[in-house]
Amino acid sequence: MCGIAGIYRFNGEANELRQHLGVMNDALLHRGPDESGMHVYEGLRAGVSVRRLSILDLEHGSQPFLSEDGSVAVVCNGEIYNHRSLRKELQAKGYRFRSRSDCEVLVYLYLEEGPDFLKRLNGMFALAVLDSRSGTLFLARDPVGMKHLYWSETPRGIVFASEARALFATGLVK
């Protein structure tokens, strides 16, 4: 099932940002009991987290997925059905994959095409791309909206998650 969460442009200290991400991840434990992950860009005052239910690539499919230089982080809940053909295309362009996970293709496809990469995806998903180069957060769902993605703009920053309970758990959303 998996669950994703994150905070963007947080107006507090990095440790507090990490604490909020941890609370959000704990609220999503039932969605992904196999593994959790987090990545924070302190300069951007933003971070993403994920709870993972391991289905594809049990050993190497840990999220968040990072670009080779670490400047782009991606978390995804869902499944990318056409990931194999996308992977072959990206490998032909020189991208090196560290896993067989369907979601790793999102990092490199985003690097190649920017937000237009969504047009290439066939699947059911909710995803977040945190790009430290441009200072942007990109959130998206599949066109049918099969995977939930809740978000709220608060005085402390923008928060998002696969379930509203993770937003409420932070105390930033009433």
- Sheet-wide strand order for 136-141: 65-66, 72-80, 123-131, 136-141
Instruction: Sheet containing 150-154: give its strands across.
Output: 35-41, 46-52, 3-8, 157-161, 150-154
Specify whether 103 is catalytic. Answer: no
Spot the catalytic one: 2, 86, 121, 172: 2
Rounded CA-CA distance 2/147 in Å is: 10
Q: What is the DSSP letter of 74?
A: E
User: Is-contact 114 129, C-beta < 8 A?
Assistant: no
Q: Residue 32 CA to chain centroid, in angstroms?
A: 14
Q: Are 27 and 165 in contact (CB under 8 A)?
A: yes
Active-site residue set:
2
